[in-house]
Amino acid sequence: MSKKETNSDQLIAHIIKGIEEVKGNDIDILDLREIENTVCDYFIICNGTSNTQVNAIVNSVQKSVSKNLKDKPWHIEGSENAEWVLMDYVNVVVHVFQKHIREFYDIESLWGDAKITSIESSY
């Protein structure tokens, strides 16, 4: 396993932990490494029930990753209306949606060739 994969695995684990700490729903990990010309190696997609929860998920992910890995997102977009917030950690991009927005854009189907791992919520 390369150093990059190890770092991605740790990053993903702390992102998932951050999502779960504030009860983010329907967590999917899309592995894009086998697909040509992708912008990153992984997408992590989840949703919250309101803009307040979407912002709480984003803040929780940032806190978890920062505290444990001393890393921060390269870019965050969409926090103003908190319907779809994108957090770019370069190799891993996190999409935090409100449920109806996630259903509308259905980005999992756009990346149909990706290997998708769904995380069962422990709550």
Question: What domain range is 85 assigned to?
Answer: 3-119
Instruction: Show the tokens assigned to 1.
Output: 């396993």
Which position has the higher pLDDT, 18 or 112?
18
Write down the mean pLDDT value for the chain: 93
Considering only 2-11, 25-34, 85-94, 97-106, which range has the smallest mean pLDDT? 2-11
- Give the CATH number of the domain where residue 69 resides: 3.30.460.10
- CA dist 10 and 14 (Å) reads 6
Considering only 36-40, 41-45, 86-90, 100-104, which range has the smallest mean pLDDT? 36-40
The answer on pLDDT for 12 being more than 80 is: yes
What pLDDT is recorded for position 5?
55
The answer on pLDDT for 97 being more than 60 is: yes
The per-residue b/e assignment along 70-84, b for 16 or more CB within 10 angstroms, e otherwise, is ebebeebebeeebbb
Closest CA to 122 of 50, 17, 42: 17
Contacts of 80 (CB under 8 A, 6+ apart): none
Total domains in the chain come to 1
What pLDDT is recorded for position 121?
76
What pLDDT is recorded for position 1?
44
* Helical (H) or strand (E) element with 20: helix 3-21
Q: Which whole number is the average pLDDT over 85-102?
A: 97
How much of the chain exceeds pLDDT 70, in percent? 93
